[in-house]
Structure 1
């Protein structure tokens, strides 16, 4: 398990952000980046990059993306 204090103390100023290749040119998308030194992914709104990024365990993000691709999300 990732230690929460350590995760949020990691600066994201110099990370390489990635957008989906399916992104339209309207700016409505999310960007993802690996969190340096941790098995985590940062996710931010490309329209508002100054807002703090959501950070999550890399395996959880991977599982979420696979569930989206398989249309396997279940309403709670």
Structure 2
């Protein structure tokens, strides 16, 4: 596997298993995630599977998910920022 870096083509991530939430809608506007061999997490837009993949550490993903669950980003959905 090539050196992993954020913004690399998702097509270069051979052998990873991409998955999306069970809450994903049929229109294809979804974020997909994949665990990488080194423990980091890749994310991509399901509508552009060969486009860029963003690469995060597990610690970064954990911090983001905690803030999402606590409602820190709710204003991005409601527009009340």
Q: Give, in angstroms, the shift of residue 6 of structure 1.
A: 4.3
Kindly indicate whether structure 1 or structure 2 has the higher relative contact order, using CA contacts under 8 Å at least 6 residues apart.
2
TM-score by length of 2: 0.72
SS of 1:7's partner is: coil
**Partners in 2 of 1:62 and 1:25 — Cα distance?**
27
Could you tell me which residue of structure 1 aligns to residue 4 of structure 2? 7
- Structure 1 unaligned blocks of 5 or more: none
- Structure 2 unaligned blocks of 5 or more: 76-81
Structure 1 stretches of 4+ with a deviation exceeding 4 A read: none
